[in-house]
Amino acid sequence: MPLGQLETEAIYTTLKTEEGLEYDFLEDKPEGLNGPQQIYLQDNLNDIILVIILISLTVFNFFAEANLATLNFFHLVILLTGYTLGKRFAVHAAFLTILIVWAFILADANPYLRYLNEIELNLHMTLWGGLLIMMGWFGSFLAKIFHKNPEEASPAEL
């Protein structure tokens, strides 16, 4: 048999073999939740994130009086929100978080003013709020990079 015909038969055999294979091993299947729990999480993820934000704000306000360091927890929540639900929802969730924290501070500013004067408190909260909004944008930016080329995404591209 000529060499060209052997190559053609090898390619044809390879294509026929690949058509019959099922590529289940290539699909990204989560290992944790299956069935109804996973469907519920996918359908209600935005509500779950808002509940996490509201509950954690309430807990931090009651148990960590005037501790501004606990507010950095929300950077992670908003980053993950931007990564999973997109820029618009992440920025809205960050803005909601900032408004609620300011409402807590304005309701009773005395514990915060023991450690910082009014100008320092306003500056700290403004910087924290701005970084929180940027964190939501950055999370959606990361999602775009990783979903475009997941195997080629490297820290150098950021």
- Give the pLDDT of residue 17: 53
Give the pLDDT confidence of 52-91 residue by residue, as tens digits. 888 888 888 777 766 787 888 889 989 988 888 888 999 9
With 0.95 as the threshold, say if the pTM is over it: no
Does the pLDDT at position 135 exceed 90? yes
pLDDT of residue 14: 58
Report the alpha-carbon distance of residue 137 to residue 126 in Å, rounded.
17
pLDDT at 151 over 70: no
CB 90, CB 139: distance < 8 Å: yes
Q: Which of 77, 66, 76 is nearest to 121 (CA)?
A: 66
Taking residues 1-28, what's their average pLDDT? 53
Which residue would you say has higher pLDDT here, 9 or 40? 40
pLDDT at 142: 86
Q: What is the pLDDT of residue 29?
A: 46
Instruction: Please state, as a whole number, how many other Cβ atoms lie within 10 Å of the Cβ of residue 79.
Output: 21
Nearest 5°: CA angle at 127, between 71 and 136? 70
Q: How far apart are the first and last CA of the chain?
A: 54
Domain residue limits, the chain: 34-157
What tokens does 127 get?
Answer: 């910087």
DSSP string over the chain: --HHHHHHHHHHHHHHHHHH---GGGS---SS--THHHHHHHHSHHHHHHHHHHHHHHHHHHHSTT-GGGGGHHHHHHHHHHHHH-HHHHHHHHHHHHHHHHHHHHH--HHHHTTS-HHHHHHHHHHHHHHHHHHHHHHHHHHHHHHH-TTT--GGG-
pLDDT tens-digit map of 91-134: 999 999 999 999 988 888 888 888 889 999 999 999 999 999 99
Question: Which is more confident, 146 or 132?
Answer: 132
For the segment 4-17, the average pLDDT, to the nearest whole number, is 58
pLDDT score of 122: 92
